[in-house]
Amino acid sequence: MRLLTVDAESAGQRLDNFLLRLLKGVPKTHVYRVIRSGEVRVNRGRAAADTRVAEGDRVRVPPVRTSASAAGRAGGDAALPHVPPREFPVLFEDEHLLALDKPAGVAVHGGSGVNFGVIEQLRCAREGRPGHRFLELVHRLDKETSGVLLLAKKRSALVSLQDQFRQRDAHKVYQALVWGHWPKSLKVIDQALLKSTDAQGERHVRVVAPAHDQARRAITLVALREALAGASLLDVTLKTGRTHQIRVHLAHAGHAIVGDPKYGDFAANKAFAREHRFARMFLHARELGFDHPASGQRVVLLAPLPAECETLLASLRRNPFP
C-alpha cells in the first residue's frame, strides 16, 4: 500500500488523472477498477474518479503491477503491459509546454483496447528528467489523425490552456481530403452532435436535432483548398471541439474523409488504398494557435502535411482517381 501526498502542481486535478500520471504502465481500466472498488482512499475516505484533489491531501493507493514481466493479478487477469519509451517529433518546447507532431495510427492515451499511447510512452521516455515531473495532455486527437498535439509541463499551464480551449480562444485548423466535389458555398456546418458508447466501449457520434436533450452544438468552418478529380482538399477550422466532430460533420454533408474507417465510404476506401497504397485517414491537424500560459504572447504552431499525404496529392494531380 502506498500513501501519497498531493503537491501544489497536482492540486485541482481529477483523482483518475492524478493516478494515471503516477501509475505509469497501468491500464486505465485497472485504475478505474480500484477507484470504484474503494481501494483508493483520499484522506481515509472513498472518492470518485472525478474528485478534485487538493494540495496536502493524502491518497492511499493499493499495490499495482506496472510491467509485463509481473505475474497476472489474482482472478485471472493477464499481466499488465510494459510501456515502451518513445519520443515524438517536437514542434515547440519550453518549461511550460510541449507541442508534438503526432503521427497517424498512434493513440494519444491508453484505454478502450489500447494499452498505451503518446502520453504514456512520452512519460516513460522522459522519466527522471528535470522539468518533466508533470506531463499532461491539453487536448485530444483521434488515433487516425496526425498533426499538432499540445501537452502541459506545469499544472498552471494545463489549466490556462484548457480554459482557452473551452472558451474557444484556441485556433485549430485541419486539412482533410474528402470524397466528391465540395460545394464552395458550403462554408459553415452548424449541426448538433450526440455521442454514445456501445457494449464494447466503442464511441459513436451522430448528427441530431438541436432540441435533443443530450445534443451538443458543434460548429465547423470549411474552405475548399483544391478540387481534384473525385475528391476535394479542404481547410477545416473548429469552432467547437466535439468528439469526431470533423469526421461526422463532413460525412453528414455527403463528403466523408478519404480513409475514414468509422464514418467513411468503406468500398471507396478499399479501392483507393489498393490503387494508391494509402492506408490511413486523410485528416491532419495542421495549425494550432493559443496564448502562451506564462507570457500571454500568441503562439501559432504549424505541422507540415505528412510525406504520405503529400505523395498521395502529387499522385492524384498526375493520375486522378476515377
Full-model pTM = 0.78
CATH of 169-318, one of 3.90.79.10, 3.40.50.2300, 3.30.2350.10, 3.40.50.1010: 3.30.2350.10
More confident residue, 279 or 92: 92
Choice among 9-23, 138-152, 232-246 with the minimum mean pLDDT: 9-23
pLDDT of residue 296 exceeding 90, the answer is yes
Average pLDDT, the chain: 88
Query: Over the range 232-260, which residues count as b (16 or more CB within 10 Å of their CB) and which as e?
Result: bbbbbbbbeebebbbbbbbbebebbbbbb
What pLDDT, in 10s, does the model give residues 91-130? Answer: 999 999 999 999 999 999 876 667 788 998 998 898 888 8
- Are 258 and 308 in contact by the 8 Å Cβ rule? The answer is no
List the grid coordinates of 40: 483508493
The predicted pLDDT at position 99 comes to 98
Please, which pLDDT band fits residue 239 given cuts at 50, 70 and 90? very high
Report the C-alpha gap between 7 and 11 in whole angstroms: 6
Give me the CATH topology for the region 1-61. 3.10.290
- Are 222 and 189 in contact by the 8 Å Cβ rule? The answer is yes
Choice among 8-22, 261-275, 282-296 with the minimum mean pLDDT: 8-22
Where do the domains of the chain lie? 1-61, 169-318
pLDDT of residue 81 exceeding 80, the answer is no
The predicted pLDDT at position 18 comes to 86
Cα 15 to Cα 26, 233, 234: the distances in Å are 15, 42, 40
Choice among 2-11, 62-71, 175-184 with the minimum mean pLDDT: 62-71
Looking at the chain, list the stretches that DSSP marks H as alpha helix, in order from N- to C-terminal side. Answer: 15-22, 28-36, 118-126, 155-166, 245-252, 266-276, 307-318
Q: In 3D, which of 42, 37, 34 has the Cα closest to residue 59?
A: 42
Most confident of 17-21, 61-65, 280-284: 280-284
Choice among 66-75, 111-120, 170-179 with the minimum mean pLDDT: 66-75
Report the C-alpha gap between 234 and 308 in whole angstroms: 17
Average pLDDT of span 63-81: 46
Please, which pLDDT band fits residue 141 given cuts at 50, 70 and 90? very high
Provide the annotated active-site residues: 142
Query: Over the range 69-80, which residues count as b (16 or more CB within 10 Å of their CB) and which as e?
Result: eeeeeeeeeeeb
The predicted pLDDT at position 66 comes to 55
pLDDT of residue 133 exceeding 90, the answer is no
- Are 92 and 99 in contact by the 8 Å Cβ rule? The answer is yes
